Structure 1
């Protein structure tokens, strides 16, 4: 768990980037921080690994204050993915991914095994990509390497600073889907900064919406859509998205099967594919399960969690399955 207690960040020119913020970021969940440019979202994230330091207040990781922690050791224990990817062009993909394990004095065999399993995790064949160089990869492939490099030292916390914003729309959507699927496997505490509301609603377990150095609302994507805290939140989310959810909430699940998850090994509760998205939201909430198993013709055809249902509820008609 990451906790901010009365944190203020004041720069020498008097600008307050953060104003008395108290927050808890839940463990093993993906939290998206979003807001307009200059709202303080990146400053807030950089506080976690001490790239920025508070003027006032304290930050805790698992209830231990980070103020007195050694910066180098702290940063080696936290994964970090940036927008510009930051791969070293003169180093192979294997060497890039193994940077932190090397600093942690892992053995050669342990480093190689870790590189192989991480590349496989994001669909990059180790036999093909380990000895290649960054410039031999596409932008999307490079960003996949950037993500797994942040995971190489097996950190509990991963910070991601607008990692997909420089990619083309197709690559970006693919990586959003992969990150969601990856999180189901690795269960890390991920803090994801973005300026894209659709991205935040799609990938996040919880969303922190900021303005002018302050937090306007914290909640699940569904909570922000259903109950925006004020006019700023409502405006930032967009009336179009809210209306889309209302419009598509009465559409049947079977129309959106291609948006849902094909496999899930955890506990589920069954629901008919003939039920509406709105009814699925209600049943999932009552069940206290992570996923619903969608049944059609006595067979489970897909699985959906609250984010999948929200994605379907926000789907544009041109992209929905007929």
Structure 2
């Protein structure tokens, strides 16, 4: 658990990046911090590993004040993923990923096993990628390696500063999904800074909305959509997004299998049966097809159109799922 107690950050020119912020970030959950440029979200995150220090107030990790912790050791114990990735171009992927475990004095066999496990876990075959160099990888692959490097030392906390914002939309969406799957397995405390509300709503367990150095609202995605604290939060989320979330919710496609057409003679974009109705709507909007093929364990269980998705949403609204 990470706790901010009445934290203010004042820069030498008098600018207050944070103003008496008090909040708790839950352990073993992914918290997204979001807000307009200059709102203080990155400053807030950087205080967790002492890249920025408070002018007033205190920060606690598991109820221990971080002022008592030595900077270098604290940073080695916290994973950090940045937008620019930051891999060392002259070092192989194996050397990049194993950097923190080696600095922490891990045995070579333990380090090598950890590196291989994490690469495989993020969809990068160790036999293919271990001896490659960063410039031989695509942007999405490099960012996967950045995530693996942050996890290599087995930290309890991982900080992610807009890690996917420089990627193309397809790579970004893939990595968002992979991060969700990874978090279900590793259950780390992740603090994820983003300016993208769709990203926050998709991946976060908790969302912190900031403006002008202060917290406007903190809650689950559903709570923010259902009850925005004020006009700023409502406008930042967007009325269209709120309405779409309220209608389509988080129900999975497989819960509405009875509404699907079992046959379709035309082309259809594939989508997992574990996707939500909202995700299916967005996928259909991007697709050039009129239907989606819903896939469960590599088997197509049905085909859905925009009309079918609306029917499913209405069933959900009425409480008559199935």
Larger Rg: 2
2:209 aligned partner? 209
* CA distance in 1 between partners of 2:114 and 2:127 (Å): 14
1:158 aligned partner? 158
- Residues 79 and 159 in structure 2, CA contact (< 8 A), matched pair in contact too: yes
* CA distance in 2 between partners of 1:107 and 1:247 (Å): 53
Q: Deviations over 1:108-148 (max 9, x none)?
A: 11111111001000010000000000000000000000001
Q: List 4+ stretches of structure 1 deviating above 6 A.
A: none
How far apart are residue 248 of structure 1 and its match? 3.5
* CA distance in 2 between partners of 1:16 and 1:274 (Å): 56
- Residues 222 and 310 in structure 1, CA contact (< 8 A), matched pair in contact too: no
RMSD over equivalenced CA pairs, Å? 2.0
1:170 aligned partner? 170
Q: Which runs of 5+ in 2 are unaligned?
A: 260-271, 287-291, 293-303, 306-322
- Residues 78 and 159 in structure 1, CA contact (< 8 A), matched pair in contact too: yes
* CA distance in 2 between partners of 1:186 and 1:81 (Å): 16
Q: Note if 1:74 corresponds to 2:41.
A: no
* CA distance in 2 between partners of 1:309 and 1:192 (Å): 25
Q: Deviations over 1:205-250 (max 9, x none)?
A: 000000000000000011111110000000000011012224435x
* CA distance in 1 between partners of 2:27 and 2:70 (Å): 22
How far apart are residue 315 of structure 1 and its match? 3.7
Q: Deviations over 1:175-233 (max 9, x none)?
A: 00000000001000000000000000000000000000000000001111111000000
How far apart are residue 309 of structure 1 and its match? 6.3
How far apart are residue 272 of structure 1 and its match? 5.9
Q: Note if 1:63 corresponds to 2:63.
A: yes
1:50 aligned partner? 50
* CA distance in 2 between partners of 1:86 and 1:61 (Å): 26
Q: Note if 1:143 corresponds to 2:143.
A: yes
1:197 aligned partner? 197
Q: Deviations over 1:132-182 (max 9, x none)?
A: 000000000000000010000000000000000000000000000000000
- Residues 253 and 274 in structure 1, CA contact (< 8 A), matched pair in contact too: no
2:117 aligned partner? 117
- Residues 226 and 246 in structure 2, CA contact (< 8 A), matched pair in contact too: no
- Name the TM-score, length of structure 2 as normaliser: 0.82
Q: Deviations over 1:234-277 (max 9, x none)?
A: 0000011012224435xx967x45xxxxxxxxxxxxx66459xx
* CA distance in 2 between partners of 1:220 and 1:311 (Å): 18
- Counterparts in 2 of 1:309 and 1:93: CA distance versus 1, 3 Å: same
- Residues 49 and 71 in structure 1, CA contact (< 8 A), matched pair in contact too: yes
- Counterparts in 2 of 1:310 and 1:72: CA distance versus 1, 3 Å: farther
Q: Which runs of 5+ in 1 are unaligned?
A: 258-270, 276-300
- Residues 39 and 210 in structure 1, CA contact (< 8 A), matched pair in contact too: yes
- Counterparts in 2 of 1:66 and 1:246: CA distance versus 1, 3 Å: closer
2:36 aligned partner? 36
* CA distance in 2 between partners of 1:177 and 1:204 (Å): 11
* CA distance in 1 between partners of 2:29 and 2:278 (Å): 17
